[in-house]
Amino acid sequence: SHIPVITIDGPTASGKGTVAHKVAERLGFHVLDSGALYRLTALAALRRGTELSDEHALAKIAERLPAKFVGGEIFLGTENVGHALRAEEVGNAASKIAALPAVRQALYGLQLAFREAPGLVADGRDMGTVIFPGAKLKIFLTASVAARAERRYKQLIGKGFPANMEGLLADLHSRDERDMNRAVAPLKPAEGAHILDTSDMTADQAVEAVLEWYRHA
Ligand code: C5P
């Protein structure tokens, strides 16, 4: 396809989501928050009491996800789940089911469909390596564990969720470990990706860096 794609991959709480949305806004592009698809599947599974190891049942849930993205809001059926999706419990469950090949396969076509004119900014773990390997620009966004824990802490508290630093650090370590060491679509920089360490950068500085690379891509 000739429709341009910018992929932004990176670990939990690296600031991918914020940067992806701001870059998309500047360029007038669509956004794919691929993590939300894994979170939606996890949320639906948790609510139904589906075992997080039941690959077949989880893939079915992913395939039939009644998900809608409406102007920054996310719906599961008629329920606005934008808030519920951000809970750490849901993120942890998402990271567990994301290791299952049938679940990833079930969400593959849905992700490709987000590529619409005039362009797409896709954020996740495997956007540049698996889903959009031919992307015009690929970014691997990182930040130190300390910087990411602090961002996640502020984000959770800001949204009214309980949070404690020690628990968050432990969560980040186990999520990094799982996301980087799984057999399918592990988190790693895509070939040709620009590495952007945002530990000492504001979101706007990161956005400028991405836009500058895009101008020369
Ligand atoms: O980015 P976010 O924290 O919302 O993603 C939740 C989980 O979904 C991640 O920990 C990761 O395991 C999984 N994920 C993935 N591939 C993606 C996006 C997210 O495996 N492209």
How far does the chain reach from its first CA to its final CA, in angstroms? Answer: 16
**Ligand 1, atom 5: closest residue by C-alpha:** 35
Strand arrangement of the beta sheet that strand 73-76 belongs to: 67-70, 73-76, 79-80
**Per-residue confidence (pLDDT) for residue 121, from 0 to 100:** 98
State the ipTM, two decimals.
0.98
In this structure, which amino acid lies at residue 45?
A
Q: Are strands 137-142 and 120-124 parallel, antiparallel or unpaired?
A: unpaired
Q: Which residues are annotated as a binding site for ATP?
A: 10-18
**Per-residue confidence (pLDDT) for residue 75, from 0 to 100:** 96
Query: How many CB atoms are located within 10 Å of the residue 105 CB?
Result: 13
**Ligand 1, atom 9: closest residue by C-alpha:** 95
pTM of model > 0.90: yes
**Ligand 1, atom 20: closest residue by C-alpha:** 98
pLDDT at 88 over 90: no
CA-to-CA separations, 169 to 159, 160, 186, 192, 214, in angstroms, rounded:
19, 19, 21, 30, 33
Q: How far apart are CA 17 and CA 33, in angstroms?
A: 7
Spacing, Cα 98 to ligand 1 middle (Å): 7
Residue 27: burial class (beta carbons within 10 Å; 0-12, 13-18, 19+): middle
Among 19-23, 34-38, 47-51, 85-89, where is mean pLDDT lowest?
A: 85-89
For residues 42-66, average pLDDT: 97
Does ligand 1 lie within 6 Å of residue 38's CB atom? yes
* SS3 of residue 123 by DSSP: strand
